[in-house]
Amino acid sequence: MKRREMILRSLQAGAVIPFLKPIELLAKDFENLLSSSGTGNQLRFPPVFTNGGTMALAASNVNVWPGQDTQVVAINGSYPGPSVVIQKGSVFTANFVNNYNEPATIHWHGVDVPELMDGHPKDSIMPGGNYTYTFPVINRGGTYFYHSHADMLTAEHVFKGFAGFFIVTDPDEAGLGLPTGNFDVPLCIQDRRSANIPQFLYNPVMSDIMNGFLGDLPLINGTPDAFFDVSKTLYRFRLLNGSNARIYKIALSDNRPFHIIATDGGLKDSAVQVNSFFLSPGERTEILVDFSAYNIGQNVTLKSLPFTAPGGGTYVQGTELNLLRFDITGNQSSGGIVPAALPPISYYSISDVKTTRTFTLTMNMGGGMNIHRINGLTFEMNRIDWETPQNSLEEWKIINASNMLHPMHSHSHQFQVHSRNGNINLPPEDKGWKDTILVNPFETVRLLVKFTNYKGEYLFHCHNLEHEDDGMMLNFKVVDPVGINEENENIADDYQLRQNYPNPFNPSTKISYNIPVSAYVILKVYNELGNDIATLVNEKKNSGLHSVEFSATAGGKVLPSGIYYYKLTASGSSGNFSEVKKMMLIK
């Protein structure tokens, strides 16, 4: 049985638990948007996804600004994407259909899923294709999300709208007295460029690759200039930073304190009062805000405070922004409380660490691509950068040797933060279960990491999406505790010419081949007429897996859309090998 079938069968074997009624507020949809109590636009909420239904990705038009069409790339025509609301313990299923003209994959960010459900770019669904994502929801209750993870297309897809909430509910939260229903409010924070209204133009220049693609205009759940009518009572807000690169320093405009109750992986072990906190791309933080001291008719604004950060260009980090105006309009009570205690978290101990891994984040200013690197490396689809044994506690020491902010994200598990620059007194947004952690310039952050649920290949990368697409990403493989692999895709004892990736492609694609012995290798590209277009390799190569990039725009060539062929010829001590494969350029 193939591995994919095995996983699907094991999932089908599990009992299907009916999912609960979704959080009521999420069920509001775009039709409820028209009433207004002040200037601006009433906060919108995406529709709730029906478990087992279809998630169709396509280009479509939505009204982000009233009366104007904005072209988005979105799931089921919704920006942000439909919200998944699902109970812990149930089985999530979505039939993904790619009706867009680029490869696509869905990553369930922060959700612990089997390898083939994780949306790794190697598992991209080609235009016109489809794939069923299905997995048991084993995470703690909390605020997670989903987004595109296609190779070198993630940033553009997310910017154009391909992201949504994945909220895990947990009946165990019911006894805690937290605000629920209409008082439990998801807020996805993203930034776009006012200069480009009403379109989401994605046209990064060099400074955007350096800093990330920043905007000057916040959208909350896709709403510009947003307001939200609140009652004089306690609310739970689930904040998701769905921006490509912008970091927010969240606060209220009157500096009123509020409580942080949850991090990326669900509830903290206590509610902590703060006046502000940092929220970097990919992170989620839940807060309780009490409006009871305000009078009806007043308002207060959720904002991002100014802060100093590196970078230059038209758009910079640390800009002061108004995110969402709360208009105090009602006297309803949520009945919610700030719990005196939350369920305990068992913390890892640094003394139990079996292995320490060091990740050094650097900038390589050689020009062109691959500026941002981890341990000097740039992402290679078919290269496993390290193996981590399951159930073994590791320390990941992330050394930021660059003058850049890097929110680092690991797939497949929640970790704990040990310290920042040796300081174990962490800010409350860091303490608890995390999957994304901001590493400041020249800072060392130490994480405690353990993979307990699934083996397989996963990703560790910067969640500044321009950095990620620039190659600031590594593959790792969670393996048996004894170190036995199911398979090792890097070791092959035969000649292989692999299918290029991505395919179809535009403008560039990667071609990999394996040679079992050192050999003289020629790799050429031909057009449909058999004319020689490019020579990618023409030299002696050592045994092993190699890859080479082919760009349809390299060297001033402008190649038309269509079918191309690539041919590998290898001459080694064990004889000659030759193979031809087909690929497609789409413009």
**Binding residue (CB under 5 A) for Cu ion from 246, 467, 477, 498:** 467
Tell me whether residue 64 or residue 462 sits nearer to Cu ion (CB atom): 462
Structure token digits, residue 56: 């169709």
From 17-25, 57-65, 187-195, 402-410, span contacting Cu ion (CB under 5 A): 402-410
Cα gap 162→145, rounded to integer Å: 11
Contact 379, 471 (CB under 8 A): yes
Helices marked H in 437-516:
465-469
Tell me whether residue 52 or residue 310 sits nearer to Cu ion (CB atom): 310
**Binding residue (CB under 5 A) for Cu ion from 464, 475, 503, 512:** 464
From 19-27, 172-180, 276-284, 465-473, span contacting Cu ion (CB under 5 A): 465-473
**Binding to Cu ion (CB under 5 A): which residues in 412-431?**
none
Tell me whether residue 57 or residue 405 sits nearer to Cu ion (CB atom): 405
**Binding to Cu ion (CB under 5 A): which residues in 327-366?**
none
Nearest to 24 by CA among 180, 222, 188: 180
From 172-180, 323-331, 454-462, 533-541, span contacting Cu ion (CB under 5 A): 454-462
**Binding residue (CB under 5 A) for Cu ion from 406, 431, 498, 510:** 406
Cβ–Cβ contacts within 10 Å for residue 408, how many?
26
User: Between β-strands 575-585 and 562-572, what pairing exists: parallel, antiparallel or unpaired?
Assistant: antiparallel
From 103-111, 260-268, 398-406, 545-553, span contacting Cu ion (CB under 5 A): 398-406
461 lines the binding site for Cu ion (CB under 5 A): no
Tell me whether residue 57 or residue 447 sits nearer to Cu ion (CB atom): 447
**Binding residue (CB under 5 A) for Cu ion from 230, 462, 474, 583:** 462
SS3 content of the chain, % helix, strand, coil (to 5): 10, 45, 45
Cα gap 119→481, rounded to integer Å: 24
Residue 394 Cβ vs Cu ion, minimum distance, rounded to whole Å: 21
Cα gap 403→440, rounded to integer Å: 8
From 225-233, 322-330, 387-395, 457-465, span contacting Cu ion (CB under 5 A): 457-465
- Residue 156, classed as helix, strand or coil, is helix
Nearest to 104 by CA among 84, 128, 83, 80: 128
Residue 472 Cβ vs Cu ion, minimum distance, rounded to whole Å: 5
Structure token digits, residue 580: 């031809």
Residue 404 Cβ vs Cu ion, minimum distance, rounded to whole Å: 6
Tell me whether residue 173 or residue 430 sits nearer to Cu ion (CB atom): 430
From 64-72, 94-102, 281-289, 456-464, span contacting Cu ion (CB under 5 A): 456-464
Number of residues near Cu ion (by CB under 5 A):
4
Nearest to 582 by CA among 570, 560, 567: 567
Tell me whether residue 90 or residue 464 sits nearer to Cu ion (CB atom): 464
From 10-18, 250-258, 336-344, 466-474, span contacting Cu ion (CB under 5 A): 466-474
DSSP string across 313-370: SSS-TT--EEEEEEEEEE---------S-----PPP-GGG--EEEEEEEEE--SSSS-
Tell me whether residue 150 or residue 405 sits nearer to Cu ion (CB atom): 405
Residue 464 Cβ vs Cu ion, minimum distance, rounded to whole Å: 4
Tell me whether residue 159 or residue 505 sits nearer to Cu ion (CB atom): 159
Nearest to 19 by CA among 93, 114, 82, 119: 93
Contact 85, 22 (CB under 8 A): yes
Residues forming contacts to Cu ion in the complex (CB under 5 A) are 406, 462, 464, 467
